[in-house]
Amino acid sequence: MLWQLFKIELFKIFKRPRTFIAFGAIAVIVVLIQFALKVNGKDFVELFLDSQEDIFDVPYEKIMNGYFVCVAVLHTILIHVPLLVALIAGDMLSGEANAGTLRLLAGRPVSRTQIVLAKFFASSVYVLLLLIWMAMLALFLSMLIFGTNDLVVFKEDAIHVMNQDDVLWRFIAAFVFAALALTMIAAMAIMFSAFAENSIGPIVATVCIVVVFTIIEQLRVPVFKETIIPYSFTSHMLGWKGFFYVVTDADGNTIDGSVENPSALVRSALILLGYIVLFLFITIRYFKKKEILS
């Protein structure tokens, strides 16, 4: 029955116009960023390399390639894409409560656990499809428009340059990690959705939490660094970027195929998985006992 329910939930997701709004929004965001970088790419790179222009010859056109643009787009995963995920996932249970269909669903011979799991799995597939769509636009379309070259990624205190032959697998890994991060957002939104009778609350709550924790993380206040940040899922959501930090040998040359501190990435992935399990556990536990009065 779980498989049947999952198929039904997926069917319902893709029958709703708002789902396609999300795909459209991604397309608009990506194309806007591509347009801005095509017109003003040099200024964007100068933002990062301004301090080094006296010392180095900076090959702006080469840096502004399809891979660089894709990394720029991936930063939208932090705030913008979670909103689009919350738009669907936050509506999963509360939307049905509001529409009155929850009582029809829950009064059928299916367990509440199955209902929650089916909705979660369907949301996860939605997240995956959203990311595949994003990959097609952000990566492949950028490669077409901007061409390909070595990838330059900026850290606060370092510049990482990767051979163009050593880049694609990193993007695959980054997108897979991003899928995990956004699935966690979906799980959180579904959890809020279980507590509410309409969708606005869960969607807003999800986005607010992401924004607040992102701000806490960026402020770098020492007391937060010891207490909140290590466990904040927003810090771990950025793990996709870790695939673009390369290791150097003793001479300072990067090693193809390497990633800085892979155990940190594994830890982040496990923490995100842990959050998914926690949110699902809370949702199922609450929803099983919930009195359906709508």
Partner 1 sequence: MANYLYIAVLFLMGVDLPRGHDINETLRKVKEKYDKVDDYTATGKLKTNILFIKAPVATVKVYYKKPDRLRIKNEKGVSLIPKGTVNINPNNVLTLKDYESFDGGIEKVNGKDCRVIKIFPLDDKNDISRATLYIDETEMLVMRSVITSKENGTYELVLTYGSQKDWALPDKVNFTFNTKEFKLPKGISIDYDNGTAKDSKKEKDKKGKIEISYSSYVINKGVADSNFD
Partner 2 sequence: MPAIIEVNNLCKTFGEVSAVNDVSFLVNSGEVYGFLGQNGAGKSTTIRMLLTLIRPDSGSIKIFGLDLKQKRIEILRRVGAIIEKPDLYKYLTALENLRIFGTISGVKLSSKDLMSRLEYVGLAERANSKVRTYSQGMKQRLGIAVALVNNPELIILDEPTNGLDPQGIADIRNLIIHLSHEEKKTVFISSHLLSEMELIADSLLIIDSGKKIVEGRLAELISPEKSVVELITVDKAATLNYMMSSPWKENIKEIADDKLILEMKKSRIPDLNKELVNHNIAVISIRPVHSLENFFLSKTQ
Q: In the complex, which residues of this chain contact partner 2 (CB under 8 A)?
A: 1, 4-5, 8, 11-12, 15-17, 99-101, 103-111, 289, 291-293
Q: At what angle do helices 80-89 and 112-135 cross, to 10 degrees?
A: 150
| CB-nearer residue toward partner 2: 17 or 222 | 17
What does 4 bind: partner 2, partner 1, none (CB cut-off 5 to 8 Å by kind)?
A: partner 2
Could you give the CA distance from residue 273 to residue 275 in angstroms, rounded to a whole number? 5
| CB-nearer residue toward partner 1: 116 or 180 | 180
* Separation in Å, CA 80 to CA 26, 182, 205: 9, 11, 14
Q: Which residues of 185-204 are buried (b: 16+ CB within 10 A; e: fewer)?
A: bbbbbbbbbbbbebbeebbe
Could you give the CA distance from residue 76 to residue 82 in angstroms, rounded to a whole number? 9
Find, among 195, 193, 16, the residue nearest to 89 by Cα. 193
| CB-nearer residue toward partner 2: 11 or 231 | 11
Closest distance to partner 1 from the beta carbon of 47 (Å): 7
User: Contact positions toward partner 1, by CB under 8 A?
Assistant: 47-48, 51-52, 54-59, 62-63, 75, 78, 149-150, 152, 154-164, 166, 218, 220, 229, 235, 238-242, 245-248, 251-254, 256, 260-261, 264-265, 268
Could you give the CA distance from residue 66 to residue 75 in angstroms, rounded to a whole number? 15
What does 223 bind: partner 1, partner 2, none (CB cut-off 5 to 8 Å by kind)?
A: none
What does 104 bind: partner 1, partner 2, none (CB cut-off 5 to 8 Å by kind)?
A: partner 2
